[in-house]
Amino acid sequence: MNRVVQPTPKIEAVTPSGRSRLLVRFRTGEQRVYDCAPLFELRPFHLLATPAFFRTVRVDPGGHGVSWNDDIDLSEYELWTNGTPSLDCDEDAPLRDEGGTMNGLNSR
């Protein structure tokens, strides 16, 4: 029996929530919440524990992931596979898109 593997959806927008969570909206319209707290203990991700730095998250060009800088990023696969589906999120919440805009305002 052949199983068709569906491609991971690309990311449309992201917003930090609290001290460790990301609300990620995919191009399919689905949203997931990803908790970054377990990553804080890993050497490459230590900076994410700093709230001001954590809030600088952006969608990578093409929606292939999110990043904070050239060294710290998460793929769309990681966020999709290990994120929790979000059915009750606020659709009016400010999400950052690929251009780094937040509700139409440049947030960079």
Cα 75 from Cα 65, distance rounded (Å): 4
Residue type for position 56: T
Q: pLDDT (tens digit, 9 = 90+) per residue, 39-59? A: 999 999 999 999 999 999 999
Once rounded to an integer, what is the mean pLDDT over residues 29-45? 96
Considering only residues 1 and 24, tell me which one the structure prediction assigns the higher pLDDT: 24
Residue spans of the domains in the chain: they are 11-87
Q: pLDDT (tens digit, 9 = 90+) per residue, 88-105? A: 544 444 555 555 554 333
Residues in the chain: 108
Q: Could you write out the DSSP letters of every residue in 31-87?
A: EEEEE-GGGGGSGGGGGGGSHHHHTT-EEPGGGSEEESSSS-EEEHHHHHHHSEE-S
- Tokens describing residue 8: 């991971």
pTM as predicted: 0.78
Q: Which residue has the tokens 């999709």?
A: 80
**Fold of domain 11-87:** NE0471 N-terminal domain-like (3.30.2020)
